Amino acid sequence: MKKKTKKEFFCYSYLKRYKVKAFLSPFFKGLETVTELFVPLIMARIIDYGISANDSRFIITNGILILVLNILGLLFAVISHKLAADISMNIGKDVRDDIFAHINDLSHAELDKFSTTTLLNRSVNDVRNIQNGIGSILRMIMRAPCLLIGSLVLSLFINIKLSLIFIVIIPVLILVIWRIMKILKPLLIKIKTHLDKTTNVTRENLTGVRVVRAFNKQAHETEKFKNANYDLISTQIKHAKWDALLAPLISTIINLATIALFYFGGIEVNAGDLTQGQLIAFIDYFATISVCILALANLVIIVNRLNASNDRINELFCVKNSIKDPANPVDVDFEDVNLGKVEFKDVNFSYSDMKNAVTDLSFTAEPGDIIGIIGGTGSGKSSITNLIPRFYDVSSGEILINDHNIKKYRVEDIRNIIGLVPQNPTLFTGTIRSNMCWRKPDATDEEIVKALKIAQAFDFVNEYPEFLDHKVNKGGKNFSGGQRQRLTIARALVGNPHIIILDDASSALDFATDAKLRKAIRTSLANATTFIVTQRTNSIRDATKIIVVDNGNIIDIGTHDELLERCQIYSEIHYSQNKKEAK
């Protein structure tokens, strides 16, 4: 049995913020329904009294009454729908705001649990389900049940015996709808799976077009696609079959019921227990009831979808930020040169329930030092640098900046000390300037230019006529990989960080540029401690200390020459990259 967790997120509770409107919208909808219910009754009276008594005035007054009821109905509906749209869209906005704020509050450890696509789906699609669902509920919650119950009650008033037909037919209708929907639901899921498969084959073939043609496999791939495609349409046709059955089945039931109505109605009228007009009203109510049942079935689907979305969003809110500011934080003096001093003491770290990513790491970096970290992918290199800005907290041991445990600082302050260049060079929509002001919102043009020069990005930026105001498209896609990488380096250097972390940040740069970049950092930011995570020994041969990592273990720490001498893995890496120097 699954343990029930407390709901952190419950979309209906947002209705509380709009109490009055949330009450009024269904209320007016109810009024609209009432006006609708009275129309057949009036019509019955017109037929029964008006026609038999030849009373034209009676017919006209009642006709005007029908018109008035119609206008009132429309008016009530407009009010109700306006309110419902207002509430549902505002709730959608509130929920999206809250989700985005929550995501921004989470630390890396929690974000790791969700992929970007998941987060996106939850904040876009699931919220849309919720906002549309709440809108539909507000509009339908009164209408369908009211019409259903109203029609039933009114028909009971008219004639109890004939109403029994309804009592028999309604469960049959519900059963038929429920049964078919139960068949349709898994088919829809299957269609989705097949559609994904078809998409996959298409994508595979577009990205791998060269391989497919190099191996002359076009016919084979077409066959593969045909199969996926065929599976898709067979399921779709199966779904369409059942779907096509629903409406005719319902109308058959209604038609059969109408025939029954005539049979019993004939007897009743003959006996004088029912009038002709009332019989017509019965037929009207019957049509209303069947429409209501369909609407209710729809409502059930909407509520189900809404609940599923609510659960998914709830899952997100149940995850809480684990990295918090301390109660009495140490203040940071950003002029202090010693902020570049970083010390690792017996640090161990593992991602949630996985094997150690960092094991027993201890070292000290003084301001101005270059610390190289080298190892293969998945060896735990980036894990070390992820600990310094407190993206993750250590499992045991401690990390000190300027002789204070980093947990003693405000999280914001630590990150202000650091200039980070991530592995994936990502820029944000805006201009070069807006991207350069990320570390220091009030950075001057001189500061930006200085950073661009160090990052070897000034030359190409200078060529743009708009210079710093040159547009950056989404993700920086209008720059080449190398340009993007240099811009992300410059972004981290604006406002002279005390600690610089280059996480495999020069992979897209050629050797000459990489060398120039490192030289510029050394001369222009002499007091900054630089961490260089890399796969190339040439990038770190002048480092103060090099940490060699493999499989989460610290293999050795030393200078380039020391490691060449004594560390087998390091020399292996080095000589495989520089064969000329071997032996």
Partner 1 sequence: MSDYKRLSSSDMRDNYTKKAHNRYHKNHGAISTLKKVFHYAREYRFYLYFALLMDIVNTVCIVFLPIYTGKCINCIVAPGNVNFTELYKNMLMMGIVAIIDVISIFTSKLCLSHYNYKGTFKIRDLLFEKFQKMPISYIDTSSHGDLISRMINDIDIMTDGFLEGLATALSGITTIIGTLIAMLMLNLKLSALIIILTPISLVVSYIIVKRSKKYVKREVDLQGEIAGYLEEYIGGERIVKAFNHEEESIDNFNKINGTYAKTATKSVFYTSLTNPSTRFVNGIVYGSVGLLGCVLAIQGEIMVGIITTFLTYANNFGTPFADISSQISDIQQAFAAANRVFNVLNEPNESSDEKQPDLLNCTGEVEIKNVNFSYVPKTTLIQNLNLSVKQGQKVAIVGPTGCGKSTIINLLMRFYDVNSGYITVSDTPIKEISRSSLRNKYGMVLQDTWLFNSTIRDNIAYGNPNAPIEDIIEAAKLAGIHDYIEKLPKKYDTEIIEGGSNLSQGEKQLICIARVMLLKPPMLILDEATSNIDTRTEKQVQEAFDRMMQGRTSFVVAHRLSTITSADIILVMNKGQIIEQGTHAELLKKKGFYANLYNSQFEKSNAS
Q: Of 182-221, which residues contact partner 1 (CB under 8 A)?
A: 195, 198-218, 220-221
Kindly tell me which residue out of 283, 319, 443, 555 binds partner 1, with binding defined by CB under 8 A: 283
Interaction with partner 1 in 30-89: which residues (CB under 8 A)? 32, 36, 39, 43, 46-47, 50-51, 54, 56, 59-60, 63, 66-67, 69-71, 73-74, 77-78, 81-82, 84-86, 88-89
Q: Return the structure tokens found at 551.
A: 């499989």
Interaction with partner 1 in 144-183: which residues (CB under 8 A)? none
* HEC letters along 423-479: CCCCCCCEEHHHHHCCCCCCCCHHHHHHHHHHCCCHHHHHCCCCHHHCEECHHHCCC
Per CB under 8 A, 464 contacts partner 1: no
- Position 510, amino acid: D
Q: Report the residue number, 138 or 361, with the smaller CB distance to partner 1.
A: 138
Per CB under 8 A, 426 contacts partner 1: yes
Stretch that binds partner 1, among 182-190, 223-231, 358-366, 452-460 (CB under 8 A): 223-231
**Minimal distance, residue 255 CB to partner 1, in Å:** 4
**Minimal distance, residue 162 CB to partner 1, in Å:** 12
Kindly tell me which residue out of 305, 312, 453, 541 binds partner 1, with binding defined by CB under 8 A: 541
Kindly tell me which residue out of 252, 396, 462, 527 binds partner 1, with binding defined by CB under 8 A: 252
Partners of 420 in beta bridges: 501
Q: Report the residue number, 305 or 541, with the smaller CB distance to partner 1.
A: 541
Question: Helix or strand or coil: residue 275?
Answer: coil
Q: Report the residue number, 338 or 426, with the smaller CB distance to partner 1.
A: 426
Per CB under 8 A, 326 contacts partner 1: no
Q: Report the residue number, 188 or 362, with the smaller CB distance to partner 1.
A: 188
Could you tell me if 469 and 433 are in contact, meaning their C-beta atoms sit under 8 angstroms apart?
A: yes
Cβ-based burial of 424 (10 A; exposed 0-12, middle 13-18, buried ≥19): exposed
Q: Report the residue number, 345 or 542, with the smaller CB distance to partner 1.
A: 542
Per CB under 8 A, 416 contacts partner 1: yes
Stretch that binds partner 1, among 154-162, 164-172, 309-317, 417-425 (CB under 8 A): 417-425
Stretch that binds partner 1, among 2-10, 170-178, 344-352, 573-581 (CB under 8 A): 573-581
**Minimal distance, residue 251 CB to partner 1, in Å:** 7
| Residue count, binding to partner 1 (CB under 8 A) | 160
Cβ-based burial of 463 (10 A; exposed 0-12, middle 13-18, buried ≥19): exposed
Per CB under 8 A, 407 contacts partner 1: no
Per CB under 8 A, 438 contacts partner 1: yes
Kindly tell me which residue out of 92, 367, 372, 552 binds partner 1, with binding defined by CB under 8 A: 92
Cα(458)–Cα(456) distance, integer angstroms: 6
Q: Between the CA of residue 70 and those of 34, 365, 483, what are the distances in Å?
A: 11, 81, 67
Cα(560)–Cα(580) distance, integer angstroms: 17
What does DSSP say about strands 370-374 and 418-421: parallel, antiparallel, or unpaired?
unpaired
- Contact residues for 100 (Cβ-Cβ < 8 A; gap 6+): 123
Per CB under 8 A, 26 contacts partner 1: no
Q: Return the structure tokens found at 343.
A: 């010390």
- Contact residues for 421 (Cβ-Cβ < 8 A; gap 6+): 485, 488, 489, 491, 492, 500, 501, 502, 503, 505
Interaction with partner 1 in 94-123: which residues (CB under 8 A)? 96-97, 100-101, 103-105, 107-108, 111, 116, 119-120, 123
Kindly state the helix (H) or strand (E) to which residue 418 belongs, with its residue range. Answer: strand 418-421
Sign of CA dihedral 30, 33, 35, 38: negative
Q: Report the residue number, 23 or 428, with the smaller CB distance to partner 1.
A: 428
**Minimal distance, residue 4 CB to partner 1, in Å:** 29
- Contact residues for 67 (Cβ-Cβ < 8 A; gap 6+): none
Angle value at C-alpha 264, between 62 and 287, nearest 5 degrees: 50
Nearest partner of 510 among 475, 541, 542, 486, judged by Cα: 486
* Rg, Å, the chain Cα set: 36
| DSSP structural state of residue 402 | T
Q: Return the structure tokens found at 121.
A: 């789906």
Kindly tell me which residue out of 542, 555, 558, 559 binds partner 1, with binding defined by CB under 8 A: 542
Q: Return the structure tokens found at 212.
A: 């497919």
Q: Report the residue number, 355 or 474, with the smaller CB distance to partner 1.
A: 474
Q: Report the residue number, 104 or 328, with the smaller CB distance to partner 1.
A: 104
Give the number of other Cβ atoms within 10 Å of residue 22's Cβ.
21
Q: How many CA atoms lie within 13 A of 508 on its CB side?
A: 17
Q: Report the residue number, 303 or 569, with the smaller CB distance to partner 1.
A: 569
Per CB under 8 A, 259 contacts partner 1: yes
Interaction with partner 1 in 480-539: which residues (CB under 8 A)? 480-482, 491, 504, 507-508, 510-512, 515-516, 518-519, 522, 535-536, 538
Per CB under 8 A, 357 contacts partner 1: no
Residue 400, φ and ψ in degrees, nearest 5: -115, 140
**Minimal distance, residue 6 CB to partner 1, in Å:** 25
Interaction with partner 1 in 362-381: which residues (CB under 8 A)? 375-379
Q: Return the structure tokens found at 362.
A: 């201890």
